[in-house]
Amino acid sequence: MLSVQMIYGLAGVLLFTFALRVALSQVAFLRRVLAINVAGAGLFLVFISAAYKGAGQPADPVPHALVLTGIVVAFSATALAIALARRLHRPSDDD
Amino acid sequence: MAEYIAMALITTGLIFFIAGSIGLLRLPDLYTRLHALTKADNVGLGMIVLGLAIISGDLITTFKLLLVWLFVLASSAASAHLIAQRARRRERGLWKP
Amino acid sequence: MEALIWTVFDFLLITAMLALGWSALSTHSLRRGIALFIAFGLLLSLVWVRLRAPDIALAEAAIGTGLTGALLLAALRDEESAAGAASTEKPKNTIADYLLIAATVILALILGWALIDALMNRQYSGLANEVFTQLDRSGVTNPVTAVLLNFRAYDTFLELAVLLVAVLGIRSLNVSRRPYLKAGLVLSGLTVWLVPVLIVISAYLLWVGAHAPGGAFQSGAVLAAAGVLLRLSGYHGAGLPARIVIRRALMIVGVLVFAIIGLGLMVLGRGFLEYPLAWSGSLILGIETAATLSIAVTLIMAFLAGETGRAGNQEDSSC
């Protein structure tokens, strides 16, 4: 009854909600960035497990393309967030 | 016949990985852990790669698997050296009995 | 019997992945948390292979785990040198915290129920059938590459633009990142032969993406990894071209080639990015090559936080 899709999808839901809770409650900035990345991983897990069609046939490629785009965009968003935080916390200089 | 050899090789590799992991958990200080981890895992990966190469039977796949093993060897050796060097420089990680 | 083995394997894999994810977020030392996150990412790549998504596995191992882990560690290093010690404040257990825990548990239950209901009761066909019936008209045989670069090429075009915007934002913030010491014997000995091999692997991934797992994103990520390795070995330029103009040109070449091909096809009377059947394969390869260069340079610049010169050297920090 518990198919492969379901257990991996539920694992993704668990990851996402737990990481969301950590992202909302932690104080240190890098911890929140880490938690957002793990939450993103949980989301991708839900996508790909919905795209899995069994051991015999090839998986649905459209969610694969979406997740591939998502991985790259998540990295660039993380880099931008870290740069923004460093700019905010830099002691003020007149430039 | 070939599958049994491959199974034996992969199982031997698994045993090496288990030994490396137990060493990581149980050994007292940083340097001994690094030693156990890199040596055991490299040999373990080599055994698994040999087993997989026998199963695949394809020359190109064997070549790619050996390349993977080569990269893991080199990068794990370099990173183990760097970790140990950093710990040595800060004089940390030695086990005090 | 085989189904039982697969179930045991799935159970072990999911348990290990969840345990690593939980411990990466809950450990006291942030450096340990980032290292555990990297291990979590590697297990996640294994999950992608299990779910028959090898392209995602390649991209996850390269970008999601490798580059993100390196970026987080570099950010931690800068933060520690600036602040002195990383603050490890635990969240205080106030009423708000308990409410947050209750809210996330309710959210998890709702999402889980929705997922189970959707998977068991709703018949959704998705677009998989359309993709596979039109696959031989797309110019490639890898379905993910076909979706990314032919059927949904517009989304990939916009994604390259998003990457470019992120790097422009990072550059405009002018945050300098301290360079690394020149590498010792072991690391430079590794870098000397590993970087050319990575370049060859990147070209191979680009070429093989047409008929096997691979493609522009994975290839660009491997090139970016080579650049990051150079940076960590003490080369401040991270392998990027020294002249500013060439760096700028490489950053925009992905979006530019996409736009030129799309608009050129419109001039020829077809729709935007509607490839003629005979030219699909070559056009896809051309776009992928430009996208690889662009993605690699953009990811390296995102890792460098925009600059390639020494810290505090203003005339080097432009691009």
Q: Nearest residue of C to residue B81 by CA position?
A: C186
For position C311, what pLDDT does the model report? 41
Owning domain of residue A84:
4-89
**Average of per-residue pLDDT across A53-67:** 89
> Distance (Å) from the C-alpha of residue A47 to the closest C-alpha of chain C?
11
For position C90, what pLDDT does the model report? 59
Q: Is residue A66 part of a domain?
A: yes
Res C264 pLDDT > 70: yes
For position C319, what pLDDT does the model report? 41
Tally of structural domains, chain A:
1
Q: Is residue B95 part of a domain?
A: no
Contact C186 B81 (CB under 8 A): yes
The answer to whether residue C187 neighbours chain B at the CB level (below 8 Å) is yes
A with C: how many residue pairs have Cβ under 8 Å apart? 237
Res C169 pLDDT > 60: yes
Q: What is the pLDDT of residues A63-95, one digit of tens each?
A: 999 999 999 999 999 999 999 988 887 766 555
Q: Give me the sign of the Cα torsion angle C95, A19, B24, C90.
A: negative
Q: Is residue A15 part of a domain?
A: yes
Q: Do chains B and A touch (3 or more CB pairs under 8 A)?
A: no
Q: What is the pLDDT of residues C71-124, one digit of tens each?
A: 999 998 888 776 654 455 555 667 888 899 999 999 999 999 999 888 888 777
Tell me, what DSSP letter sits at residue A58? P
| Residue A62: pLDDT band with limits 50, 70, 90 | very high
Q: Nearest residue of A to residue C92 by CA position?
A: A25
Chains touching B, CB cut-off 8 Å, 3+ pairs:
C
Q: Is residue B74 part of a domain?
A: yes
Chain C residue numbers touching A88 (CB-CB < 8 A)? none
Res C313 pLDDT > 60: no
Tally of structural domains, chain B:
1
Parts of chain B with a pLDDT under 70: 93
Chain C residue numbers touching B78 (CB-CB < 8 A)? 186-187, 189-190
Q: Do chains C and A touch (3 or more CB pairs under 8 A)?
A: yes
Chosen from A14, A34, A92 to mutate, greatest number of chain C CBs within 10 A: A34
**Average of per-residue pLDDT across C275-280:** 87
Residues 6+ apart with CB under 8 A from C222: C62, C198, C201, C202, C205
Q: What is the pLDDT of residues C17-71, one digit of tens each?
A: 999 999 999 998 999 999 999 999 999 999 999 999 999 999 999 999 999 999 9
CB C224, CB C129: distance < 8 Å: no
Contact B71 C190 (CB under 8 A): no
Q: Is residue A94 part of a domain?
A: no
The answer to whether residue C190 neighbours chain B at the CB level (below 8 Å) is yes
The domain spans of chain C are 1-90, 91-126, 141-319
Q: Is residue A64 part of a domain?
A: yes
CATH code at A26? 1.10.287
The answer to whether residue C186 neighbours chain B at the CB level (below 8 Å) is yes
For position C273, what pLDDT does the model report? 84
Distance CA B1, CA A74 (A): 47
Chain C residue numbers touching A31 (CB-CB < 8 A)? 25, 30, 33
Q: Is residue A95 part of a domain?
A: no
Q: Is residue A57 part of a domain?
A: yes
Residues 6+ apart with CB under 8 A from C132: A58, C143
> Distance (Å) from the C-alpha of residue A43 to the closest C-alpha of chain C?
11
Q: Is residue B69 part of a domain?
A: yes
